[in-house]
Structure 1
Amino acid sequence: MLSSDLQKYANGAPVPGPFQVNATDVQAATNFSSGTTASGTLTQNTGETVIFTGTGSAGNADIVNNDGGATRFYDNSTAASANITNNGTLQFSDNASGGQAQIVTNGGAVTVFTDSAVAGAAGATLTNNGTTIFLDQSGTGGSAVVNNQTGELHLAGNSTIGGAFDNSGLVVAGSTANLGTGLVVNNATGNMLLRETASAGSATLANSGTLVFTGNSTANAATINNNQTGMAAFLGASNAGIGSQLTNDGQLYFGENASAGQSIIRTQAGGQTIFYGSASGGTAALRVANGGLLDISLLDTAGLSIGALTSDVGSVVALGSKTLTVGSTNQQPMVVSGLQDGGLGGGTGGSLTKVGTSELELTGTNSYTGLTRVEAGRLKAASADAFAPLSGVVLAAGSELDIGAWDQTIGSLAGAGSVILGNVPNRLTIGTNNQSSEFSGDFQADGGIIKVGTGTLTLSGTSTNTGDSRVEAGTLRVNGSFAQSPLTVAGGTLAGSGAVGDTHVLAGGTINPGSGSNLTIASDLLLDAGAVYRVDITGTGSDSLTVGNTATIGGATLALGDFTTPDPTGSYVILSAATITGSFVFDPYDYAFLLPELDQGSTAITLTIARNGLRFSDIALTPNQRAAATALEGFAPADPVFAALLTANATDARRFYELGGGEAHAAASTVSQRSFGLFADSLKPSRRASLNGIVEQRSAGTAVGTALDVGFDTPTVTQTGWVAPLGGLGTLASDGNGGAVNWTSGGLAAGYEIASETGTGHTVVGFGLGTIASSATIDQRLSSIAGQGYYAGLYGQWREGPAWLDGQLAYGANHIETSRGLEIGGLSRTATADYWTQTLGAGLEARYEFELAHNLFVGPVASLDVGWTGHGGATETGAGTLNQTIAPSDQWKVDAGIGVAARYDMPLDDGANLSVVGKALWQHSFVDGANAQTVSLAGGGGPFVVSGASPGQDRLRLVAGVEYQPSPDVILSLDYAATLGGSEMSHAARLALRVKF
């Protein structure tokens, strides 16, 4: 933003110098003392000096200082009417004066004014193309100063500008320098810097170039016109002064810690006034014309406070996400338009705060989306829709919001002030930002309000407005008095414990006092067909309506709402009026345990609620539902869970029984068993490693024998290490009692085995370790299960000719975490628990092979598996009285299977071998597969048993696999298994690498 020269001095570079007279200068000088006057032409070359002292005068001489030459004026000497061309050094000190001389300082030359010297009187000119410096108490006097493009002019000390000043170069004012009272022109190429404590005085400053205030400098009382090409900036801790006037047609910046002070700033069409960093507005009065821009979006602080603001229609006041505070000087009038989010810094949620006792009027379009705070005085609309339609308005006590003579819209309303609604039919629309708020102030005059949006507007004050009001969406809660405004409820809800005027509820509208409140209708109530009167019942009573005159019920619906009492039974007067005509449509909610009845009289309507005699368990349809319902019946009547069930319908109650039963803990054992099975299935040797020989082709055209007598040369004892990634997923369908379970598992197993040959026999023994992560969901029960299991096992294989026998023994420990969602009515809780399950299992599989064709073997297979799963006790947290205590539990299983297995061995041309295997096994469980769990609820009712979904006792297991042996020492295998049962379908896969060593 600043030129390099300007930036150098802004950063604190010193004034050039010092400039001193040395002894040789004085000795070699031509001296004009008191009473003498120079004439003719005086030329000073290198080492030559002319000195004027006393009252000496340069008269009308032509003085030329060449490079290295010097002319010096001391005491009270004067340059008179001389023409001075300076290419060396020109000095005025003490009380010396330039008189009416014409002084030109060329490039490379230096002219210095010190002490109290002045550049001259009216008629004198000082033209600078080099360096000119004013120090101490010196100044330009009445001389006209022209600082050309190559010139550098410094004002330091207490120096001042007195006469006309025209700058096209660089001007630096520091210390306590002052720009005086004259006209200062900074042209398009000009750069002016005021630093330290320099002041613009009361000068008139016309800027078309760059004008910068920094340090603690000030514009003081100057008049600054920042033209279209001009850039003016207040930086550092500078300020715009007291009473200064800035007219901005170009760019005006306030940055760092600068302040607008007590200035008046006018931003014209095309002008931009921008605040950034930690700049402040002081008590300045800002005025923005049509086409002008005021932007505070770049501020690092929360916002900007100024004394006053006026912005014309067509102007832009960009707030970004900042707050603009106006009105501290109580200036009148203030008319503002163009307030909006965004700006150079972007951002949304810009806000306006009105302070001071004056009135601020909004006109045109204002679209900011943050808050509008009125701390004092009045905020008034000066045109239709002048208020920011999404802004929430907050009125401090004693402040006012005036909609003027037009309809207005605001986002929300809060606070304790007053809203002036003007005349009929003017109305204020409230609620477009969908926020809920409370307004304890009052509405006045003849207009009305319209409630829109999804939020709740709570009115707790006493209002006197008489215009028509309307509820279209959300909730209007009247806890104070809104009794003089006729009210139409076309949509949304009318609620509260206060008083309203004549009320007409249309189809689609709802009246619901809420929380057992009584809402007073001052005169008449009309409820159309399709309207709803919703009644809540609490521990202190029910919602009710008191109508001062006539209640006309034109087929409206009576609906029962929230019951927040443990025992809602009793009789409740829900509507009273001088006269009641018509009746409600009352279709009682399908309560499972309550019997509501309605007595519709001519002056009162009474609702009676009684128990219907059914227990919670009487409506249960499944064993799990019945067990949970019996326990829930034992809860204290004051428990919110009991109250929620008491007021539920049968469908919701049954669902809650299922949620509260705790099937996740029964299903956790099922998930542990499936993860354990995934590991146990990996504890088997390679089929190829178990062969003594296979039919293979060593080279082209060479036939070899059967799989039982030909193969790789195999040592008597071989050792093999293996690693196998594992994965599985499955679904256990609901059996009508337990919910459906969806599970996934994935992990890694690794092991070591030793194989030995004994004639035609082959024996393998080995061990394996593994870890498997699993997860499961019971979506119907809002439950989830996560497990991390750790496993170890032993396995072996024996083969004698075509007979095979495999066996394994494994143990697993699985850390289980459960989460159960519990929902009914407005009650929502989550119960969590964690505990360990243990699983121990052993299995045998026997098969016999027949070679049906070359390298194709088929034969019967039979299996027997025995397993045990159990866990210790645990207690849930997070759900209050619905937390369960989980009893220790265990379960045995015994499965037997019979089926057929097949294997095809195929030698490949490259010397590798490939085997394809398959197996179909029908399995029967001698124990019902449904896992059962005993639990008890913290709220009471005693222990009960809940069962997970049963996988059934019969299932088909299909296995397919392929093994590839690229060399005698390496085997790769891929296996897939599917389990298909009446209610279960699962899939598992294993990829294994085996290496002999």
Structure 2
Amino acid sequence: MSPLLSRVSPLALLASLSFSSAAVAADINVPANTTVSGQKTFGGTDKITVGAGGKLTSSANPTLNQTSTSTGVSVDNFGTIESTGTGTRAIRFNSGTAMSFTLTNEAGATIQSQNDALQVGTAVTSGTITVNNYGLIQATGTGSNNGQAIDFGNIVAGTASITINNFATGVLQTADADGVRPGNNATINNYGQIISNNFQTNSGADGIDFQTSTGGTVNNYAGGLISGGRHGINISYDPTANKTTSSITVTNYAGGQIIGRNGSGVGSDVGGTVINYGLISGDIDNIAGVANGDGDGVDIDYIGNITNYGTIRGTGAKGVGSDGKTNTSQGVAIGGGVIDNKAGATIIGQADGILVDNSSEGPAFGAVTITNAGTIQGTTRYGVYINSTQNNTITNSGTITGGGGQAIVFGSGDDTLNIRTGSVINGTVDGGAGNDRISLSGTGTFAGAINFETLSVDDGVWTLTGTQSYSSGVTVAGGAELVASGTIGNLVTIAAGGRLSGSGTLGALDLSGVVSPGAGAISTLTVTGNATFRSGSVYQIDANAAGAADKIIVGGTAALAGSVQVTAASGNYAPSTSYAIVQAAGGVSGSFASVSTDLAFLTPSLSYNANNAYLTLSRNGVFFQSVAANRNQRAVAAALDTTPTASPLFLAVVGKSAAGARAAFDGLSGEGVTGALNVGLESNRLFGSTLADAGQFWRSGETRDANGISISATTPALGYASLESKKGPIAPRMTQEPARLWRMWISGFGQSARLGGDAAQGSATQRTSLGGGAIGLDAAVLPNLLLGFAGGYSAGGASTDQRSTHVDTHGWHIGGYGVFTFDPNYISASLAFSDFDNYSRRSVFGLGTGETANANFGSRVLRARVEIGRDVDLFGLRATPFAAVETAHIWTDGFTETTAAFPGFAGLSALTFAARETDSLPLYFGARFKRSFALDNGWRLTPDLSLAYVHEFEPTRALLASFASAPSAAFTIAGARPDENYLQVKGGLRLDVSASVALFASFEGEYGGRTQSYAGRGGLKVAW
């Protein structure tokens, strides 16, 4: 090898192989961390690669120059490609009209020059161009040396596919010109930043400028920023290059921002489609020397389609536009089309929220349809201003505000304003010239508008306030309701099925539906002109016992037809009460075909004279009993029927509807006081059951030897286990267990129950709860005979919510019990006596008196129980079939309620309850099962289960009452009661911890068709 060749470095050799002269195109490779200087040319399918830290630089224009047709050139830059000359470009594609290339600028890489960093210099018409930017592409020149980061502006026609992807780390920026000129029908997908800056007077610095192409698409994703020194995104109009029907499509996603810092966020001199989820803003930056600026959020001069889920705003304007007109700032300025502002979205302009015109204060190029569910606001002028000769529509369920006092202004077309539920309009509404219409749908309040010819209530309920006038009148459709709260100066027509209410003033009335002045309150409706009641119409009237009723005052004539329906308030009605329901200054003609009322005991009738129609309510002969729906109601009604017709109690009920009377019967009945019977009987039963359980405890054999072998008091032990098997110490052997004759026990008990109501009887559901305790002492007076006695205390309550009644009961108990065994049979008996103090409190409803009736009374219960049974062995269990009968008798003292309205005295609704005796006679058939288990520590555990069928021969729980204000009228009222047949389930555990001490606990449930109760006991027994 030549010494000269041996001294040539491998790197230099590689460079000599990789690069040829500038005149010959070939692959270009700049290794990592290497600088290569000079202009390079390329074409065809050349691959150009700059490694990380590498640099391709020159002062030439451009540094990379296409000299032959590009059919598949790829540029992959990890380092820097730059031109350092004045007004020069870094990369230029400049050969042929058919062109395809892919350029990828990686993260951390830079392509830069003073003029265009990347340019296509020829009018390409076909091919595929793709740019993927993860790094920085920038043009740093200003003034005459400025340029774009990407300039494909020479591509103005044809079918070339252009895609520019600026990823999250990517930055496309300029110092004094448009950021990107993407070319005809290009698509830009931006996740990063596209920023153009303007230097002093340069007004052409848009973030993205489609120039006069036929359009393109911009997708700005979350985190993406497009910010222009003038417009954020723009397309211009040139009659020689594109058409007014040309358009751009911009989608700004949530988290994306498109900002024009001295112009529009999105501006189009032609058409456009904008879908916004993020922020689009047109601002004014007040740079010195820049006199003019028009900050519109979105400005589409011709026909556009805008859907907004986010915020579109215009924050200010200055100077004049290209047409010489003073600039004003709008959230949206448009020449026609569709605007849909979604719920939660905002369109706001420093002057107008939305301006529709030809961009020079002339009529718009097309009609506009605006749907608003969000917020539209003009800060100093109009919410929506439409300069148009065409037929435009606004549908509002959101908020429209005009800071200058006018919220909505239409043009001279035949316009429609649709008001929907949720609509709020701050400022006046002007329909302008033409035949304009307002449609109300949903529910809300409308304060009116000017220069509209018709208003229709199409569905829902709408309240009209203020003074409103519609030359062609107001119509209310079937199923809709108009609440007249202000003045409507023209004809109001109510279609069949429609409804008119309120207390306002109408110019005239044509009624085929329903009119109800006041809508539930007694009011007067005024008609200044004529009123016509059509056949099938309904006049609904509210009336009261004081002689007041709804009224319609007519300034002209009243032509009557249809029917009258009377809803009368509760009250003390006189035998006959008359009301003037129509007064017509011009006279009354015709008559109503019928009249009806919801009152059960008053009959309505109608009469007329020349200028009036009258309603009269007169007492009829209907008995209260005839509207009662069950036995309890009939009992109360029968008593009321015997009271004097002039008594306050009679008058309080006679003015009611059938349903109102039934509610009054329930309120007067005092049915919930029967809860004292249920709580008293159950408290006594649980105490008595505790006595019976104590006897069963003894009978099952509770005395044991020290090693846990159960024996009786007199029977020798049957045997003993071997010493080796014992788990604990062994007591000395005895031939007989010492007798333990005495036992003392203490027990607590509680219960919660639901007694279902009976529809035929008319009783309501009652819920009871109680708790108490008992202590007892007994002795085995004979080896087979136990006698004992006990005492106890309990407290409980009963609530009958449907009768607004609560009863509290407190009582003490004493009793005795005994068990006699004759193996394997037994007989047991117990006797329990209880004395109770009861307090009842009930709120009386259905009369309107607002009284609360209180009472304090006593009651006593005596219960006896007898049970027989027999023990048998069943698969290792002790099974005990048994039968038992109980008889209980409760004495309830007589008493009279006092009322909170008259403390210490009986009010209108107070009752007197007679002394009453009530029986209970349940019969039990069942069986018990138990088995004992010796524990390792010498204790013994005995679980048991009892199942029984119960039949109650005397389930009725009733009291005899009379009205304190009319004591001769007595009635029997029945409350909630137990089922006649139900299942009783008991389960328990007994733990013998020594020969003398045992703990016990049990659960008891009773399940019937209407009644369910749950009770529990627990306690301690000690024997000696």
**Shorter-chain TM-score above 0.5:** yes
What is the rounded CA distance, in whole Å, between the counterparts of 1:949 and 1:409 in structure 2?
70
What is the rounded CA distance, in whole Å, between the counterparts of 1:605 and 1:571 in structure 2?
10
Q: Residue type matched to 2:746 in 1?
A: F
Shift of 1:452: 2.1
Q: Name the SS of the counterpart of 1:882 in structure 2.
A: coil
Alignment of 1:580-599 (within 5 A): 580-585=588-593, 587=595, 589=597, 591=599, 598-599=606-607
Q: Name the SS of the counterpart of 1:917 in structure 2.
A: strand
2:1017 — aligned with what? none
**In structure 1, which of residues 275, 278, 299 is the aligned counterpart of residue 277 of structure 2?**
275
**In structure 2, which of residues 775, 783, 795 is the aligned counterpart of residue 813 of structure 1?**
795
What is the rounded CA distance, in whole Å, between the counterparts of 1:858 and 1:379 in structure 2?
105
Shift of 1:712: 7.7
1:964 is the counterpart of 2:930: yes
1:464 — aligned with what? 470
Deviations 1:670-725 (A, max 9, x none): 3465366346524544777534889xxxxxxxxxxx9999898599xxxxxxxxxx
Deviations 1:159-216 (A, max 9, x none): 6636626845544158989882475358567758565986683244326565344498
1:149 is the counterpart of 2:104: yes
What is the rounded CA distance, in whole Å, between the counterparts of 2:269 and 2:817 in structure 1?
94
Deviates more, 1:947-956 or 1:456-465: 947-956
Q: Residue type matched to 2:950 in 1?
A: A
Q: Residue type matched to 1:656 in 2?
A: A
Q: Name the SS of the counterpart of 1:985 in structure 2.
A: coil
**In structure 2, which of residues 805, 812, 816 is the aligned counterpart of residue 840 of structure 1?**
812
Q: CA 1:712 to 1:237, structure 2 compared with 1: closer, same or farther past 3 Å?
A: farther
1:793 — aligned with what? 774
Please tell me whether the aligned partners of residues 378 and 399 of structure 1 are also in contact (alpha carbons under 8 angstroms): no
Deviations 1:852-876 (A, max 9, x none): xxx5x476x6553211222568898
Q: CA 1:480 to 1:265, structure 2 compared with 1: closer, same or farther past 3 Å?
A: same
Alignment of 1:746-895 (within 5 A): 764-774=743-753, 789-795=770-776, 800=782, 805=787, 807-814=789-796, 816=797, 818=799, 820=801, 837-845=809-817, 855=824, 857=825, 863-870=830-837, 882=850, 884=852, 886-895=854-863
Q: CA 1:798 to 1:197, structure 2 compared with 1: closer, same or farther past 3 Å?
A: farther
Shift of 1:603: 1.5
Q: Name the SS of the counterpart of 2:663 in structure 1.
A: helix
Alignment of 1:701-712 (within 5 A): none
Shift of 1:653: 3.8
Shift of 1:568: 12
Deviations 1:102-160 (A, max 9, x none): 597743562277xxxx7423696399644454899977714534784376675599966
2:288 — aligned with what? none
**In structure 1, which of residues 978, 989, 993 is the aligned counterpart of residue 989 of structure 2?**
993
What is the rounded CA distance, in whole Å, between the counterparts of 2:754 and 2:475 in structure 1?
56
Q: Residue type matched to 1:938 in 2?
A: A
Alignment of 1:967-982 (within 5 A): 967=933, 969=940, 970-976=942-948, 978=950, 980=952, 981-982=954-955
Deviations 1:423-482 (A, max 9, x none): 88x865423x3x2x22222464543414422x2433432213224623422431223333
Q: Name the SS of the counterpart of 1:542 in structure 2.
A: coil
Q: CA 1:939 to 1:573, structure 2 compared with 1: closer, same or farther past 3 Å?
A: farther
1:307 — aligned with what? 331
Please tell me whether the aligned partners of residues 810 and 840 of structure 1 are also in contact (alpha carbons under 8 angstroms): yes
2:119 — aligned with what? 164
TM-score scaled by length of structure 2: 0.62
What is the rounded CA distance, in whole Å, between the counterparts of 1:66 and 1:774 in structure 2?
102
Deviations 1:803-841 (A, max 9, x none): 565654332234x5857568xxxxxxxx797x9642322
1:111 is the counterpart of 2:55: yes
Please tell me whether the aligned partners of residues 334 and 356 of structure 2 are also in contact (alpha carbons under 8 angstroms): no
Please tell me whether the aligned partners of residues 376 and 400 of structure 2 are also in contact (alpha carbons under 8 angstroms): no
Q: Name the SS of the counterpart of 2:491 in structure 1.
A: coil
Please tell me whether the aligned partners of residues 181 and 209 of structure 2 are also in contact (alpha carbons under 8 angstroms): yes
Deviates more, 1:147-156 or 1:651-660: 147-156
Q: Residue type matched to 2:447 in 1?
A: S
Please tell me whether the aligned partners of residues 624 and 640 of structure 2 are also in contact (alpha carbons under 8 angstroms): no
**In structure 2, which of residues 394, 417, 420 is the aligned counterpart of residue 411 of structure 1?**
420
Shift of 1:634: 11
RMSD (Å) for aligned C-alpha atoms: 6.2
1:10 — aligned with what? none
1:938 — aligned with what? 901
Q: CA 1:499 to 1:908, structure 2 compared with 1: closer, same or farther past 3 Å?
A: closer
1:601 — aligned with what? 609
What is the rounded CA distance, in whole Å, between the counterparts of 2:647 and 2:197 in structure 1?
81
Q: Name the SS of the counterpart of 2:931 in structure 1.
A: strand
Q: Residue type matched to 2:448 in 1?
A: G
Identity over aligned residues, as a percent? Answer: 14
TM-score scaled by length of structure 1: 0.64
Q: Residue type matched to 1:172 in 2?
A: L
Q: CA 1:759 to 1:597, structure 2 compared with 1: closer, same or farther past 3 Å?
A: farther
1:917 — aligned with what? 881
Alignment of 1:112-261 (within 5 A): 119-121=59-61, 125=65, 129-133=76-80, 141-145=88-92, 148-149=103-104, 154=109, 161=116, 164=119, 167-168=131-132, 170-173=134-137, 180-181=147-148, 183-184=150-151, 187=163, 191=167, 201-206=177-182, 208=187, 210-214=189-193, 220-224=205-209, 231-233=219-221, 235=223, 239=227, 241-246=229-234, 252-256=251-255, 258-261=257-260
2:265 — aligned with what? 263
What is the rounded CA distance, in whole Å, between the counterparts of 1:112 and 1:568 in structure 2?
111
Q: CA 1:421 to 1:976, structure 2 compared with 1: closer, same or farther past 3 Å?
A: farther
Alignment of 1:435-474 (within 5 A): 435=443, 437-442=444-449, 444-453=451-460, 455-467=461-473, 469-474=475-480
What is the rounded CA distance, in whole Å, between the counterparts of 1:922 and 1:85 in structure 2?
110
Q: Residue type matched to 1:264 in 2?
A: V
Q: CA 1:295 to 1:628, structure 2 compared with 1: closer, same or farther past 3 Å?
A: farther
Q: CA 1:109 to 1:925, structure 2 compared with 1: closer, same or farther past 3 Å?
A: closer
1:556 is the counterpart of 2:563: yes
Shift of 1:992: 0.8
What is the rounded CA distance, in whole Å, between the counterparts of 2:596 and 2:576 in structure 1?
14
1:953 is the counterpart of 2:934: no
Q: How many residues align?
A: 809
Q: Name the SS of the counterpart of 2:978 in structure 1.
A: strand
Please tell me whether the aligned partners of residues 616 and 629 of structure 1 are also in contact (alpha carbons under 8 angstroms): no
Q: CA 1:844 to 1:142, structure 2 compared with 1: closer, same or farther past 3 Å?
A: same
Q: Residue type matched to 1:770 in 2?
A: F
1:534 — aligned with what? 540
Shift of 1:767: 1.7
Q: Residue type matched to 1:891 in 2?
A: S
Q: CA 1:400 to 1:189, structure 2 compared with 1: closer, same or farther past 3 Å?
A: closer
1:481 is the counterpart of 2:491: no
Please tell me whether the aligned partners of residues 568 and 599 of structure 2 are also in contact (alpha carbons under 8 angstroms): no
Please tell me whether the aligned partners of residues 880 and 928 of structure 2 are also in contact (alpha carbons under 8 angstroms): yes
Q: Residue type matched to 1:766 in 2?
A: W
Q: Residue type matched to 1:934 in 2?
A: E
2:342 — aligned with what? 319
What is the rounded CA distance, in whole Å, between the counterparts of 1:598 and 1:776 in structure 2?
49
Alignment of 1:305-384 (within 5 A): 307-308=331-332, 319=342, 322-323=345-346, 328=353, 330-332=355-357, 333=364, 350-351=373-374, 353=376, 355=378, 375-377=383-385
What is the rounded CA distance, in whole Å, between the counterparts of 2:642 and 2:269 in structure 1?
75
Q: Residue type matched to 1:512 in 2?
A: P
Q: CA 1:279 to 1:516, structure 2 compared with 1: closer, same or farther past 3 Å?
A: same
Shift of 1:575: 1.0
1:503 is the counterpart of 2:509: yes
| Unaligned ranges ≥5, structure 2 | 43-47, 67-73, 94-101, 121-129, 153-161, 199-204, 236-246, 284-295, 313-328, 358-363, 703-710, 721-735, 935-939, 957-976, 994-1024
Please tell me whether the aligned partners of residues 221 and 256 of structure 2 are also in contact (alpha carbons under 8 angstroms): no
What is the rounded CA distance, in whole Å, between the counterparts of 1:917 and 1:471 in structure 2?
76
Q: CA 1:421 to 1:759, structure 2 compared with 1: closer, same or farther past 3 Å?
A: farther
Please tell me whether the aligned partners of residues 794 and 810 of structure 1 are also in contact (alpha carbons under 8 angstroms): yes
1:296 is the counterpart of 2:313: no
Q: CA 1:263 to 1:143, structure 2 compared with 1: closer, same or farther past 3 Å?
A: same
Q: CA 1:528 to 1:953, structure 2 compared with 1: closer, same or farther past 3 Å?
A: farther
Shift of 1:783: 7.5
